Structure 1
Amino acid sequence: MKSTKAPRVLVIIPAYNEENSIAAVIHDIHRHVPSADIVVINDGSRDLTEQYAVRAGARVLTLPYNVGIGGGMQTGYIYAKRMDYDIAIQMDADGQHPAEELPKLISKAVSYDLVIGSRYLETTSFRSSVMRRIGMVFFSGLVSLVTGQRFTDTTSGFRAAGRKVIELYADYYPIDYPEVESIVYLKRKGCQIAEVSTEMRLRQAGKSSITPLKSAYYMIKVTLAVLMSAIRYDRTAVSKP
């Protein structure tokens, strides 16, 4: 008989100097998904991110220095694995991801290994700059090509992972700009991935760390990482009897 027990859900919030938004994000999650646990990965912040997160009611894991989004998220997945959660949700600390969309991700994650909140699967109110939109379209097309599955928003950091993905990401997670590459990695591992249309907002506080120079590096690095992952995937498939 299939279990009707509600899944144990953990929301992972990587945060670096997000004292102006972190408390509001945590309160928003408590309001819309009160049963979910929250862990903030304080990635070597130099401000009051840790204190504000604790006051808002989240568990905080503080890293001794800034390791970046990849290392921060892997820390969260290791925690989710050790604490035996059924679903782990990645959510930004800057207020871009509305907590009212969490039930969509959670309900679909019961049937898929990974669910991605997409800004472009359907028409939403989200608007990005022309250059960011070009990058999003490029990477979605590239990943769709190398995996054989259509994706519309591979750069989205609003995701829900089931137990299989929690295990995989706890063992390996791309370090630098990981969202795109991590999808290809999961497809190589035979994971079932789906997208669900979600609203998103512009960041509610702080500023993006991505400069024009970093954007150029991002495009080159991620493209090469995806192509190398695809080559490894093809070689593995050919070598199977």
Structure 2
Amino acid sequence: MKKLVIIPAYNEQGSILETIEDIKNNAPGFDYLVVNDCSKDNTLGLCRNHGIHVLDLPINLGIGGAVQTGYLYAFQNGYDVAVQFDGDGQHDARFLQMMADTLEKENLDMVIGSRFIDNEGFQSSTLRRFGIRFFAFLLKVLFGTKITDATSGMRMCNRRVMELFIKDYPKDYPEPETAARLLRHKYKVKEVPVIMRERLAGVSSISPGKSAYYMIKVSLAILIERLR
């Protein structure tokens, strides 16, 4: 199976080299692609200077557009599996092969790495945990499936899901909305326990000031997805 790690990157100069080394050392069976989303720092320069495979977007597309670009690349280049993987050092590449094995052996469409099954490692902030629990409740009520970590950016999918996502993918905060979309279409989604870390550098795109907008926007998107 051809497997690709998609790393959306916006201003990740403080962590991108460590992220790539983690993948090379702990997931040698995976190819990788950094999708540079018009970073304003030296992310692109570091990638080029260190021979890292990077696709440089001409305009800033946001997290959704960067990830969708990665899915398009994976689909067009014949990859069987694609996995989203944060460039800030929070994700641990040691779990990638386990996720791929689970996807294949159980004939799943998507595997989501959840930090809340075994509750090990970095558990995020109190405010973020509240939002994650709310989305878990919303998805359970609307779709009948428990997703403990719907905001997890560590998610692996097969070609069937890639084909769906390259046609339409949310621009911002896409993870809970796309989980809802897969559940509505009766795709087979499963969570597996992973351990996440605090980010090595940079700041989250969801600042305290944006938290209310984030909750309202994502909740409405999930509700609309259920009504389609």
Same fold? TM cut 0.5: yes
| SS of alignment partner, residue 41 of structure 1 | strand
Deviations along 1:87-116, one digit per CA (max 9) or x if unpaired, are 001000000001111112111121210000
Residue type of the partner of 1:10? Answer: L
Match of 2:23 in 1: 29
Match of 1:66 in 2: 60
Flag as ranges the 4+ runs of structure 1 deviating above 4 A: none
Percent identity between matched residues is 48
User: Are the equivalent residues in 2 in contact too, given 1:26–1:57 (CA < 8 A)?
Assistant: no
Report the CA distance between 1:151 and its aligned residue: 1.1
The answer as to 2:64 corresponding to 1:75 is: no
Aligned mate of 1:196, from 192, 206, 210: 192
Deviations along 1:160-204, one digit per CA (max 9) or x if unpaired, are 111111111111111121000001111222210000000000101
Match of 1:18 in 2: 12
User: Are the equivalent residues in 2 in contact too, given 1:44–1:66 (CA < 8 A)?
Assistant: yes
Aligned mate of 1:177, from 173, 177, 186: 173
Match of 1:4 in 2: none
| SS of alignment partner, residue 176 of structure 1 | coil
The answer as to 2:227 corresponding to 1:231 is: yes
Aligned alpha-carbon RMSD (Å): 1.2
The answer as to 2:208 corresponding to 1:212 is: yes
Alignment of 1:34-113 (within 5 A): 34-110=28-104, 111-113=107-109
Report the CA distance between 1:57 and its aligned residue: 4.1
TM-score (norm 1): 0.90
Report the CA distance between 1:67 and its aligned residue: 1.3
Greater radius of gyration (CA): 1
Structure 2 unaligned segments of length 5 or more: list them. none
Structure 1 unaligned segments of length 5 or more: list them. 1-6, 233-241
- How many equivalent residue pairs? 226
Aligned mate of 1:122, from 113, 118, 124: 118
Report the CA distance between 1:81 and its aligned residue: 0.6
TM-score (norm 2): 0.95
